Amino acid sequence: MKEIKIKDYLFEHGIRPVNKRVKIMNYLVSKRNHPTAEMIYLELVNEIAGLSKTTVYNTLNLFVQEEVVHALNIESNELRYDADISQHGHFKCKECGEVYDFSFNKDLIQDLRLKNFVLKDFQFSINGICSICHQH
């Protein structure tokens, strides 16, 4: 997605597309690497003159609030961010730390205890060993 498209996308979701926001969104959309705020800051601080961590946090919180980005609780000590807001789960490899997406069918949750519950946000994370690390 081009930056001009991202500008439109943010604008359509009620987010003023100021430069730093566009750059951060562009990073999320093009890398698709489920980064932490720290990772985004470290990658962009050289590219964006005078970027601060506060702005990264402000921007990510705005994106989450306006629902163009999901915050992921994959690990307890850090929040990761994902611009893919379609329903999917995340697998994190204990060996290499890589995060992989996977799909699941929520219709297979059939528990009477959730009768008449309104299910809103799904967070499905699995950890283990990925196929690459498993070969060794």
| Contact indicator for 93, 127 with CB cutoff of 8 Å | yes
For position 18 contacting DNA by CB under 7 A, the verdict is yes
Minimum CB–partner distance for residue 106 and a second copy (Å): 7
Binding mask 109-128 for a second copy (x = CB under 8 A): xxx-xxxxxxxxxxxxxxxx
Residue closer to DNA (CB basis): 94 or 134: 94
What torsion, rounded to 10 degrees, do the Cα atoms 51, 38, 98, 101 define?
-70
From CA 63, how far away is CA 106, in angstroms rounded?
25
Binding-residue total with a second copy (CB under 8 A): 41
| Contact indicator for 79, 37 with CB cutoff of 8 Å | yes
Which of the choices a second copy, DNA, none does residue 47 contact, using the CB cut-off of 5 to 8 A by kind?
none
Chain residues 35-54 in contact with DNA, contact rule CB under 7 A: 36-38, 50-54
Q: What are phi and psi of 85, to 5 degrees?
A: -100, 10
Chain residues 58-97 in contact with a second copy, contact rule CB under 8 A: 71, 73-76, 79, 89, 91, 94
From CA 133, how far away is CA 129, in angstroms rounded?
6
Residue for token digits 């951060």?
24
Q: Where does this chain bind a second copy (CB under 8 A)?
A: 71, 73-76, 79, 89, 91, 94, 100-111, 113-131, 134
